Structure 1
Amino acid sequence: MATFVDGPVRVSVPATSANLGPGFDSLGLALSLRDELEAEVLPDGLVVDVAGAGADGVPRDESHLVVRAMRAAFDLMGEQPPGLRLSCRNVIPHARGLGSSSAAIVAGVVLARGLVAGGQLLASDEALFDLAADLEGHPDNVAPAFYGGFVISGREADRWYAVRAGVDPRITAVVFVPPDGVETAVARGLLPGVVPHADAAANAGRAALLVAAITGQPEHLLAATRDWLHQDQREPAMPRTLELVRALRADGVPAVVSGAGPTVLAFGSADTADLLARCPQGWTPYELSVDVEGARLT
């Protein structure tokens, strides 16, 4: 029987950008934009408080994504608490391609483990990551949210895998967040079921080059972020996003659609002033670094 800890447990989880151009459903990067959450066990009931990004559009009951992830993790560890209080302070924009759902899932499983005495013995990091990826359905955002940094992830047989790689310290990131979001399901619905072999081969080569560029040769980022599989295909759902990506790339800036969009991520140098000035009117720019810590109890 699990024993629950007294008092609240707090967790901080980073935003993530997945795909990064050619790394469709396999490459992800944690970014220095964090949601902060707190949970504690109550004698009974469920209390959910949400403030910040997306607060007006999320439920306050058992269907809340963080609560669902917590319930799944408690099941993994063998017992549900009698009651729960959850408080979310959201910074990561919702439905913008910055991993808000993965951050919620990762926060939930980490909070649940933190609320159980000896939780590390009942649910290892590998087990929690597997659970989080199962809940999300793909690992490319979950992996960097959980582990931090730059992560190559996927599925082999019946298990998820995640391999961290280094990040060249010269790499910085600027994201341009539009005022309106696009649901991931809508963006995925625009992708074709079959792609030409030549496009798949070209994409594989650029994905391999992207790993080399991020880990130590950022001078190759422009070529390495060229994509054939998903960005142009999603243009009907986010025309201004693709317009900005093309304009930046035409000027030599390695720019991509962040995740399923519509946010644009651009890799920059140490001085990002000129890049920040390219932000379209009405959009919100963020100058970010790579977050190497991932989810952490605070």
Structure 2
Amino acid sequence: MTNRSVRIRVPGTSANCGPGFDAIGLACTVYNDLELTLLKEPELSITIEGEGAQNIPCDNRNIVWRSVQYLLRKAKLDKEYPGAIIHMENNVPLSRGLGSSATAIVAGLKAANVLIGNRFNRRELLQFATDIEGHPDNVAPAIFGGFTISTVTRGNVECFTFMPKFRMKLVVAVPDFPLSTRKARAVLPEKVPMKDAVNNIGRAAMLVAALCKGNDKFLRNVFEDALHQPYRAELIPGMYDVFQAARKAGALGANLSGAGPCLIAYTLEKRECEEAVGEAMKKAFQQHGVASKILIMDLDNRGAHIVNENKE
């Protein structure tokens, strides 16, 4: 009898979505694939293709393997499966604000869960992923797809997921430099002014309402943020100029993707302006000496899912 294996596909994600700091996220149509085989021998083989292949550790530090082990410990099967064969095919840019670590965590948890007979449901996987990542804003859309709104109450995660009432295109400018989440969080203040908190509460609520009701006219001003973008702007040359260029080219709005440095703009599919928006964002970055590439994507509506499974 051969060892069972499974191939899992997980979408990249964007967190914050403007005013929804650490609460709102979305899944987009760029994917990382993971093939996992659990072994009953203490052997570990990790191979990586694509984004981050030269930088991601291929030993016990690997976040996919650590996530697999986490789930096996929860199932009390870590002694039964002390080893694994892991193959990663990555398309999500590393350390750019598109949830690369979240895709790895969710892929490891999902793949291991499938191989032990789906002992845990998606809500439990969300809790595990949040415990590993530290916050749910990227792991939630990676699991569920679409837009997600997450809260944590005394350590317990709750997540609401939905697809907007109109079709959107996501235009992402990926600059040619990485930015660690740790560095991006280090520039944030411990306290913020009341007016900035009010600004974000109102806009985050308006964003969700407009998406759920399908009323795009209310999206023009909702992506503005006062809690994290002003402090992170110094880390991303030309950030506000890129936002302005995107809007002038027809975008509904634009914001920092997660902790950055990717910048994401939102357009309505019917307006067919995403190519112009991408070009405008790229040119604005160039004016500040930053090279970038443009990704034009849709919202992913599936989240993490099985591509194929070997049940021999």
Q: What interval of TM-score do these two structures reach, taking the shorter chain for normalisation? A: over 0.9
Q: What's the CA shift string for 1:202-247, capped at 9, x where partnerless?
A: 1100000110222212222221111111111101211233331243
TM-score under structure 2 length normalisation: 0.90
Are 1:77 and 2:75 an aligned pair? yes
Aligned to 2:297: 288
Aligned to 1:170: 167
Aligned to 2:306: 297
**Structure 2 Cα separation of the partners of residues 193 and 251 of structure 1:** 36
AA of the residue aligned to 1:58: I
AA of the residue aligned to 1:277: E
AA of the residue aligned to 1:168: K
**Structure 2 Cα separation of the partners of residues 283 and 71 of structure 1:** 36
SS of match in other structure, 2:238: helix
Indicate if the aligned counterparts of 1:178 and 1:263 stay in contact, CA closer than 8 A: yes
How far 1:250 sits from its partner (Å)? 5.7
Matches within 5 A, 1:256-267: 256-267=255-266
AA of the residue aligned to 1:169: F
Indicate if the aligned counterparts of 2:28 and 2:297 stay in contact, CA closer than 8 A: yes
AA of the residue aligned to 1:191: L
5+ long unaligned stretches in structure 1: none
Seen in structure 2, the aligned counterparts of structure 1 residues 107 and 175 have a Cα distance that, compared at 3 Å, is same
How many residue pairs get matched? Answer: 292
Of stretches 223-232 and 239-248 in structure 1, the one that deviates more from structure 2 is 239-248
Aligned to 1:89: 89
Are 1:201 and 2:210 an aligned pair? no
How far 1:53 sits from its partner (Å)? 0.4
Are 1:123 and 2:120 an aligned pair? yes
How far 1:168 sits from its partner (Å)? 2.6
Matches within 5 A, 1:17-166: 17-44=14-41, 45-80=43-78, 81-116=81-116, 118=117, 120=118, 122-166=119-163
Q: What's the CA shift string for 1:119-176, capped at 9, x where partnerless?
A: x2x3222211100011000000000000111000020123011111231333211111
Are 1:277 and 2:279 an aligned pair? yes
Matches within 5 A, 1:173-252: 173-215=170-212, 216-249=214-247
Identity %: 37
5+ long unaligned stretches in structure 2: 308-312
AA of the residue aligned to 2:266: F
